[in-house]
A and B are shown apart, each in its own frame.
Chain A
Amino acid sequence: MIDIRNLHVHFRSSEGTVHAVRGVNIKVERGQFYTMLGPSGCGKTTTLRCLAGLERPSSAEISIDGQVVFSSERNLMIPPYRRDIGMVFQSYAIWPHMNVFENVAFPLREMRGRFSRAEIREKVMRALELVQLTGYEDRPAPFLSGGQQQRLALARALVREPTVLLLDEPLSNLDAKLREETRTEIRDLVKRLGITTVYVTHDQLEALTMSDMVAVMDQGQIVQEASPIVIYREPKVRFVADFIGLTNFIKGSVHRAANGNALGEVQTASGLITCILPDKASSGDKVLIVIRPEDLILVPGAVSAGSGNVIEGRVSTSLFMGDSTEFRVAIKDTTLRLKLHSSTAMSQGDTVRIELPPERCRALMG
């Protein structure tokens, strides 16, 4: 449904030319919720704006629903107002000199096929109902709260029933509680309407909870593109492992390459660790073992260190997080973070044994 091929974007800034997007390729299926996730400056917003037509790529082939909207080969660029899209901006971009009704009605008034006043009214009311802003039609737009303005922006983007919805970090200006509620609301809404959605955010929780597909971006390139579960469980590079959620990193080198079941052994400062190795790993390769804090298991005293993936260490800090407690345990050359139930009786200075389930340990090259 959306096809972006070999997108390159250059900017001229005071420091010279910036290569903001470096050969990005994206395919979004019809009805899919596709998220671009990454830190500031990774190029995700630029990519979104190229899709919207607000930014001119240096080179690319972009098509939406079979129609080419940008082609550097054919020197073709369809301006934003001719693309069948709706867009929600990070700042909401609500027009202050109009009321709620007029803000939502604006796109309808700009459409070629003129609607009658009754039709406009019906469509606007329907859009407002979708976002639960019924009854606010006559209110001047600046007199809405942040959350209400965000919903207004959403209504405005959806009133034309576009085939594609673009959202540029729409939740970043909301407080935590509102963000949580709105996350599910947006996803349910677009799924119900069957609109193909492209979402940009730096918040990995949003990416994980809302998306069908996540593309993690860094420095203008897509580093890994997969479903939320795969992104979380099977990060391919350190950047992805680090950016999404909390991770533990243990340095080591391959001791024994993988046999049939893809598990191999890695020599680390804390002993041999059995874990999943990358495909082409061979003996002696430098690797980084990643394991999530919630996958680490506290071992009762009976099992001795050295059998299986059990490491001994000393508790250095404990942080009460409310729903859990995070423990930092110092081991040979690093510190492990554990996420345990808050009832766990462990305090600073205790010696503990931690097990790393092999199938939860993943080694990355480098």
Chain B
Amino acid sequence: MTSATMSHAVYGYARSALRSEHLWHWTIFIVVSLAVATPLIFLVLGSFSEASLPTQFTLSELTIRNYRQVWLDLDTYLVFYNTLIYVTGATAFGISVAAGLAWLVERTDIPGKLWIYAGVPMTLAMPGMLQAMAYVLLLSPRIGYLNEFLGVFGLGPINIYSLGGMIFIEGLRLVPTAFLMLVPLLRSMDPTLEEAAYMSGANPHRTLRRITIKLMLPGLLAVLIYQCMTALEVFEVPGILGLPASIYVFSTKIYSILHSSSSTPAYGQANALAMIYVVIAIAATWIYAKVISKSERFSIITGKGYRPRVTELGRGRWLASGLVLLFLAFSIILPFLVLCYVSFLPFLQSPSVAALRMMTLDHYVELWQTPLIGQVMMNTLYMVAITSTLTVAISFLVSLVIVRSKFWGRRILDQVAFMPHAIPGIVIGLAFLWVFLQGTKYGINLYGGIWAISIAFVVGFLAYGTRSMNAGILQIHKDLEEAAQTSGATQWRTMWRIFYPLMLPTIIGVWVWSMLHAIRIAGAPLLLYEGKENQVLAILIWNMWDEGNIEAVGAIGTLMIIFLLLVTLSLRMIGFGRGAAIPQSSH
């Protein structure tokens, strides 16, 4: 190659770097990196600050006293211990149930499989907060309905305000996602691997033990770790069930440090604790990534359609069906009925004929008359709309760069967008608390309002959004756009007539996922809102519960669950969420 052509090549590249396309890429890269890095930097810096308010934080007064205090505090170790027990228990319980369900539908002849396939993921429509609240009504030591029922038989009250209670509820909540991850695993396992075992003389039981389970172990491990991360991150369930009994796990401890009624919030300490929390979460993410990459060694997935060996249950099928129904009952039917029941009561009382006769629609009517209900609903509407739309827009642009461009930093951008996934929601809320409070010093008054909540959500949701958009864009073969260009369409026309229509399903999917999550998560919003007029629905429900306004919670909760059920149901009917490639979290 002559030097002339060489310099041409270099010259050409330098010129192209200045083209508008590259400018666009750089903008996205910088904006997203800032959006993710800024809160994290404040999180880290804040942990070294002893300022009583984040606004008083200065770089000159850095100290490690927060960390010393946190490490020396026995409380911290109690939090460690509680979190460990809770996460381990919930995961073990949840995975076991999910594995059982998956095995029943994939490898036995249990009746009504279609209902189980459809029904189990539907339990995701039940928000964690409401489910926990419903179980408090059932199993609160003093007034729980189930406890009263048990009391009749002389059986002691079960206290839901306990680690056991948290394990049970969160375990239940982990099931649908774990189920959605385990089913494809079971379904696509190559049967010839088992058949080879049979041909070598192993009976079904030995085959299961020595071949099947061993092959599925990496996949199982991945599901296990993923669910651990979810349980670790959740705030609502430990919040409702643990706080009243002063049982703290990481997520609720941070919240309580900031919202303590007895002492002024120790922001720096909250940060220090959050840092430990984050380190654990990142370690879990790293282990997950390692397990995922190892699992490819045990590639057992085959594309061939096949018929698996089905175990016949015989008379056991009734027991199995009963167990499945029991799960559905505990997960969604029972909590919904309780909330529904309570919403119609004039005052709290155990179920009885008399109670039924007293039922009234008063609370629903009161809902309309609640002073700020209109404001709260509008807030929620705006917040959800802003969050979902921003998540879709930014994820879309980011994924475009990651998948379709030759921008040098696109892999880095991919990692940066995914990073917030490793950070628990409450910590993201805390980090943004610092950012927004600092912002008020410069006249940017985002703190306390809907935008604060939206921004925190968007940064958190980017991880899911970009995964989804990446997959969606990858499916659109570049050929389709090139064919449009060679047919005379400019880049904009191609995007509008070819690319965008084909991306619509993915875009809608991400929008709805964001909506469903933004509407029910309470952790970060609780940290970021200020003032009754800035509440959103999740915060309202939390506060109502806190104030003892149980019947109102019942009413609004019932309506919320019906709404979410309808949305989830209609989505499944249109075809989304069937065998979701990317699992939803369990808030």
- Given the complex, which residues of B lie within 8 Å of A91, measured CB to CB? 477, 479
Within 8 A of B (CB), among A103-147: 106-107, 110-111
A110 and B1 contact, CB distance less than 8 A: no
- Given the complex, which residues of B lie within 8 Å of A111, measured CB to CB? 488
Q: Which one of A29-37, A82-90, A342-350 contacts B?
A: A82-90
A87 to B489, CA, bound (A): 13
Interface of B is mostly: helix
B487 and A106 contact, CB distance less than 8 A: yes
CB closest residue in chain A, given B477 = A91
CB closest residue in chain A, given B483 = A93
A58 and B487 contact, CB distance less than 8 A: no
Evaluate whether A8 and B497 lie within 8 angstroms (CB atoms) in the complex, with A58-B8, A107-B487 already known: no
A160 to B486, CA, bound (A): 11
A72 and B8 contact, CB distance less than 8 A: yes
Q: Which one of B4, B477, B486 contacts A87 once the chains associate, using CB atoms below 8 Å?
A: B486
Residue A54 is within 8 A (CB to CB) of chain B in the complex: yes
Residue B498 is within 8 A (CB to CB) of chain A in the complex: yes
B480 and A106 contact, CB distance less than 8 A: no
- Given the complex, which residues of A lie within 8 Å of B477, measured CB to CB? 91, 93
B484 and A106 contact, CB distance less than 8 A: yes
Residue A151 is within 8 A (CB to CB) of chain B in the complex: no
- Given the complex, which residues of A lie within 8 Å of B483, measured CB to CB? 87, 89, 93, 95, 153, 156
- Given the complex, which residues of A lie within 8 Å of B488, measured CB to CB? 81, 107, 110-111, 160
Evaluate whether A59 and B8 lie within 8 angstroms (CB atoms) in the complex, with A8-B1, A97-B501 already known: yes
- Given the complex, which residues of B lie within 8 Å of A86, measured CB to CB? 486-487
- Given the complex, which residues of B lie within 8 Å of A107, measured CB to CB? 487-488
Within 8 A of B (CB), among A55-97: 56, 58-59, 72, 75, 79-81, 83, 85-87, 89-91, 93, 95-97
A235 to B497, CA, bound (A): 48
Q: Which one of B4, B12, B479, B502 contacts A89 once the chains associate, using CB atoms below 8 Å?
A: B479
B484 and A54 contact, CB distance less than 8 A: no
B12 and A81 contact, CB distance less than 8 A: no
A83 to B487, CA, bound (A): 9
A54 to B489, CA, bound (A): 13
Evaluate whether A58 and B485 lie within 8 angstroms (CB atoms) in the complex, with A93-B480, A110-B493 already known: no
Residue A332 is within 8 A (CB to CB) of chain B in the complex: no
Q: On chain B, which size bracket covers the interface?
A: 20 to 34
A58 and B480 contact, CB distance less than 8 A: no
Q: Which one of A54, A90, A97 contacts B485 once the chains associate, using CB atoms below 8 Å?
A: A54
A19 and B480 contact, CB distance less than 8 A: no
A81 to B484, CA, bound (A): 8
A79 and B9 contact, CB distance less than 8 A: no
A85 and B486 contact, CB distance less than 8 A: yes
B8 and A89 contact, CB distance less than 8 A: no
B493 and A97 contact, CB distance less than 8 A: no
B485 and A79 contact, CB distance less than 8 A: yes
- Given the complex, which residues of B lie within 8 Å of A160, measured CB to CB? 487-488
A101 to chain B: closest CB distance in Å? 14
CB closest residue in chain B, given A55 = B482
Q: Which one of B486, B497, B498 contacts A81 once the chains associate, using CB atoms below 8 Å?
A: B486
B487 and A110 contact, CB distance less than 8 A: yes
B490 and A106 contact, CB distance less than 8 A: no
B129 to chain A: closest CB distance in Å? 40
B9 and A156 contact, CB distance less than 8 A: no
A8 and B5 contact, CB distance less than 8 A: yes
A38 to B8, CA, bound (A): 27
Residue A191 is within 8 A (CB to CB) of chain B in the complex: no
B1 and A97 contact, CB distance less than 8 A: no
A98 to chain B: closest CB distance in Å? 9
B407 to chain A: closest CB distance in Å? 12
Please provide the 4 A-B residue pairs with the shortest distance between their CB atoms, ordered closest to farther.
A93-B483, A110-B488, A107-B487, A93-B479
B binding-site residues for A, Cβ under 8 Å: 1, 4-5, 8-9, 12, 15-16, 406, 477, 479-480, 482-490, 493, 497-498, 501-502
A-B contact pairs, 7 of them (CB 8 A): A8-B9, A58-B9, A79-B485, A81-B485, A81-B489, A93-B479, A110-B488
